[in-house]
Structures are given as structure tokens and as C-alpha cells.
């Protein structure tokens, strides 16, 4: 834009120099410095001393060719001869700033076009670079789903057959073996149910109904009794009768299972678990390792594990959190290191 102004001012400069030359030759005749309404001008000698000026600007940068100051554009030209002793010819025209507005408009258009181009090009490159990762994740997801599906039948068969065995008719050695099989099968079954929940939860519609929560909690405690016996953990049950809840049986069972499973995993040997059930209230309190306040803040994040020596994938309490959000349950966690942890679930009718 400034270059276009420079071309125009070059024409003005040629006109002024021609008139200076004419005045130089015919000085006795005219004796009048040339002026023009289209521009203002000044002449300086070789020492950069002002000879004559009609400029509005008081200071001139003779070392530049074209420059702007405030609302003026200046152009400096050096004539081939020192007409009237002038080494430098300076022209000045008003700057209406229209060129700047046009420049801003052109830059804005260019930025918008460049943004859309880079967005499209970046998205295209991103798809190419992420394709191997997407394929790998798809294969992994398919593998997990297929594996969990295939695990269901043998796990169910093992648990069902173990439950049908009357251990009272067996000798102690055989009874201990059956018990270990039962523990292993239930551990795998719990992991299977967690993986199934995470991989299929978004596709499963909750079948909500009024449930006898007293019965459900009692059944889940009985289910985990075998696992608790391994660490000689005792259950202390404070369960009210006829407590009901409107919920999906599978999801509320999964919530209770993960609370009981964690209370067993992180408990100490010969510890205890207090299970309290009242109207709109469920509490599972253990006498285990406990947690710091920093660990409590990360408690419900997926794949977070605070003790690598304990089995699991760090998904149990994340599932608890997902179920609680779906049913608007409130979860309160209080814990003290080497004392134990209390998980409280509260809900409204």
C-alpha cells in the first residue's frame, strides 16, 4: 500500500524538481518557490540544512526514502543537480489511512482463508497419523469384548458347580481346595462383570424397578463371605428390614460388589467390615490401610491404584461413580491412614 503511494509521490517529485530546475535557470524572472495544492515540499542542502519549506512537519528523516508520521506520508528524493543548492527534496502528503483500512481488511480475509485451510489440512493429517492408533484401539476393544463374552460361560459353570458341592461331606483337605476354587472363580467373575459394565454400559438400558435392598445387600455380603474368610475378616451387619430402592438390579449389585470388594482387598488380616443399611443410606466401613486426602481426591478416577500389591485394574470405584451419577446418589468418603475407610451412599426416594 505504501509502495503505491510512493509511485504517486515520485511523479509529484519529478514535477517539483522540473519546476525547481526552471526556477534555478530563471530565478531573476520568477523568484517564487514552486507550490502545489496536491502536496507540500521542502529542500535541504548537502549539510541537511533547511533551505525552504512548506511542510507541516518540523522534523524530517532525510535518511529514509518513504515513511509515515502520524497522519502524513513523506517522500525524499535526491535531484541529479543541486538546483537552488538543494541536495534533498522532501514531499509531504496527507495520509487518509484508507490504505490501512484496506490492508486490515485484506489481512483479515487472508487470516480467515488460512485458518480454514490449516484446519482442513490439519484434520486431514490428523486422521492419517491417528489411523494406526485407532485401528489398534479398535482391535483392543474388540479383544476385550470377545474375551469377556467367552469368559462368561465357564465362570458361571464353575461357580454354579462349586455352590452345589456340600463341603460338609468332604474332608478338610478337599474342602480347602474347593474353597480356593470358589474364591478364584468369584474373583474372576467380579473382574468380568466390571469389564462388561465398562464396555457395554452405554448400550444397556437400565431396567429400573422397586427392589428389596435389604435382600440384595444380604445376598452380596454372603457372596463375598468366602473372599473375606481368606483374610479372616468378619462382617458386622447393621441392616434394617424392608429397605427398598428404585433401581436396576444389576447396577445396584455392581455398586455394592465394588464397595465390598475394595473393603476386603485393602483391609488388614483379621479386620472387620461394618455394613450399615437404613432408609436412603448405605455405608461400608473397613479397618484397612486408609487413604490420604490427596488419594481421596483421585479415588474415582479410572485405572488409579494406590497399592500395586493388591489385585485389580483400578476400575471398581470408577464404576461406582458412574452408577452414582446415573441415579443421583451422593457419595461421602472419609478415611484415616492405618485406621480405615468409610464409604457412605445417600439417595432420595
pTM of the model: 0.56
Phi, psi at residue 59, to the nearest 5°? -115, 135
Would you state the pLDDT for residue 317?
Answer: 87
Would you state the pLDDT for residue 345?
Answer: 95
Residue range 146-164: mean pLDDT, rounded = 76
Strand, helix or coil for residue 298: coil
Other beta carbons within 10 angstroms of residue 235's beta carbon come to 16
The vertex-310 CA angle with 342 and 267, nearest 5°, equals 35
Would you state the pLDDT for residue 324?
Answer: 92
Distances (CA, A) of 211 to 79, 217, 242, 321: 102, 11, 10, 20
Tens of pLDDT, residue by residue over 227-242, are 898 899 999 999 999 9
Tens of pLDDT, residue by residue over 314-342, are 788 888 998 999 899 999 999 999 899 99
Would you state the pLDDT for residue 247?
Answer: 92
Q: In this predicted structure, which of 200-214, 227-241, 245-259, 323-337 has the lowest mean pLDDT?
A: 200-214
Tell me how long the chain is.
349
Would you state the pLDDT for residue 343?
Answer: 94
Tens of pLDDT, residue by residue over 276-291, are 999 999 999 999 989 9
Q: Which residues pair with 43 in a beta bridge?
A: 52, 89
Domains 118-204 and 205-346 share a fold: no
62 Cβ contact partners less than 8 Å away, ≥ 6 residues apart: 44, 48, 76, 88, 90
What is the dihedral angle through the alpha carbons of 262, 267, 272, 274, rounded to the nearest 10 degrees?
-30
Question: Among residues 123, 75, 125, which one has the least CA distance to residue 95?
Answer: 75
Does residue 201 or residue 344 have the better pLDDT?
A: 344
Using the predicted structure, report yes or no on whether residue 23 has a pLDDT greater than 60: yes
Distances (CA, A) of 52 to 24, 27, 123, 254, 265: 14, 15, 63, 96, 97
**Percentage of the chain lying above the pLDDT 70 cut:** 92
Q: Which residues pair with 94 in a beta bridge?
A: 72
Question: Among residues 74, 38, 47, which one has the least CA distance to residue 59?
Answer: 74
- DSSP for residue 270: T
- DSSP for residue 206: P
Using the predicted structure, report yes or no on whether residue 263 has a pLDDT greater than 90: yes
Tens of pLDDT, residue by residue over 56-88, are 888 888 888 888 887 888 888 888 888 888 889
Residue range 97-117: mean pLDDT, rounded = 84
Give the span between the Cα atoms of 267 and 289, in whole angstroms.
6
Give the span between the Cα atoms of 217 and 253, in whole angstroms.
8
Specify the fold of 118-204: Helix Hairpins (1.10.287)
Q: In this predicted structure, which of 149-153, 162-166, 209-213 has the lowest mean pLDDT?
A: 149-153
Q: Which residue has the cell 437400565?
A: 206
Using the predicted structure, report yes or no on whether residue 27 has a pLDDT greater than 80: no
Segments making up each domain of the chain, as ranges = 2-96, 118-204, 205-346
Using the predicted structure, report yes or no on whether residue 202 has a pLDDT greater than 60: no
Other beta carbons within 10 angstroms of residue 270's beta carbon come to 10
Residue range 178-198: mean pLDDT, rounded = 78
What confidence tier does 148 reach under pLDDT thresholds 50, 70, 90?
Answer: low
Copy the grid coordinates of residue 254. Answer: 455392581
Would you state the pLDDT for residue 214?
Answer: 95
Would you state the pLDDT for residue 308?
Answer: 64
13 Cβ contact partners less than 8 Å away, ≥ 6 residues apart: 75, 77, 89, 91
Would you state the pLDDT for residue 99?
Answer: 65
For all residues of the chain together, what is the average pLDDT?
Answer: 85
Tens of pLDDT, residue by residue over 124-141, are 888 888 888 888 877 877
Q: Which CATH number fits domain 205-346: 3.30.565.60, 3.30.565.10, 3.60.15.10, 3.30.390.30?
A: 3.30.565.10
Q: Is 211 exposed, middle or buried (0-12, 13-18, 19+ CB in 10 A)?
A: middle
What confidence tier does 5 reach under pLDDT thresholds 50, 70, 90?
Answer: confident
What are the DSSP E strand ranges found in 136-290?
208-212, 234-239, 244-248, 272-278, 281-286
Amino acid at each position: 500500500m505504501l509502495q503505491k503511494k510512493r509511485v504517486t509521490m515520485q511523479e509529484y517529485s519529478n514535477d517539483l524538481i522540473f519546476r525547481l530546475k526552471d526556477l534555478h535557470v530563471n530565478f531573476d524572472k520568477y523568484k517564487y518557490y514552486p507550490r502545489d495544492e496536491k502536496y507540500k515540499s521542502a529542500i535541504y542542502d548537502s549539510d541537511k540544512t533547511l533551505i525552504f519549506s512548506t511542510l507541516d512537519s518540523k522534523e524530517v528523516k532525510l535518511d529514509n526514502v518513504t515513511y509515515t508520521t502520524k497522519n502524513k506520508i513523506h517522500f525524499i528524493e535526491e535531484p541529479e543537480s543541486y538546483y537552488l543548492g538543494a541536495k534533498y527534496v522532501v514531499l509531504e502528503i496527507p495520509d487518509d489511512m484508507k490504505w490501512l483500512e484496506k490492508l486490515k481488511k485484506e489481512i483479515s480475509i487472508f487470516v480467515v482463508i488460512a485458518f480454514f485451510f490449516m484446519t482442513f489440512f490439519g484434520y486431514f493429517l490428523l486422521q492419517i497419523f491417528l489411523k494406526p492408533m485407532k485401528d489398534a484401539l479398535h482391535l483392543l476393544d474388540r479383544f476385550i469384548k470377545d474375551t469377556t463374552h467367552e469368559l462368561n460361560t465357564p465362570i458361571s459353570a464353575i461357580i454354579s458347580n462349586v455352590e452345589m458341592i456340600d463341603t460338609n461331606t468332604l474332608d478338610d483337605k478337599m474342602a480347602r481346595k474347593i474353597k480356593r476354587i470358589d474364591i478364584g472363580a468369584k474373583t474372576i467373575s467380579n473382574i468380568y462383570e466390571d469389564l462388561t459394565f465398562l464396555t457395554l454400559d452405554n448400550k444397556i438400558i437400565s431396567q429400573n424397578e422397586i427392589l428389596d435392598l435389604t435382600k440384595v445387600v444380604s445376598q452380596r455380603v454372603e457372596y463375598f463371605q468366602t473372599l473375606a474368610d481368606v483374610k479372616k475378616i468378619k462382617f458386622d451387619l447393621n441392616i434394617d428390614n424392608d429397605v427398598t430402592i428404585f433401581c436396576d438390579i444389576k447396577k445396584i449389585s455392581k455398586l455394592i460388589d465394588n464397595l465390598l470388594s475394595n473393603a476386603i482387598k485393602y483391609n488388614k488380616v483379621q479386620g472387620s467390615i461394618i455394613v450399615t443399611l437404613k432408609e436412603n443410606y448405605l455405608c461400608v466401613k473397613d479397618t484397612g490401610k486408609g487413604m490420604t486426602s490427596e488419594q481421596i481426591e483421585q479415588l474415582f478416577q479410572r485405572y488409579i491404584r494406590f497399592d500395586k500389591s493388591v489385585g485389580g485394574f483400578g476400575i471398581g470405584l470408577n464404576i461406582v461413580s458412574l452408577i452414582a451419577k446415573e441415579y443421583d446418589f451422593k457419595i461421602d468418603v472419609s478415611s484415616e491412614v492405618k485406621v480405615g475407610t468409610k464409604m457412605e451412599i445417600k439417595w432420595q426416594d
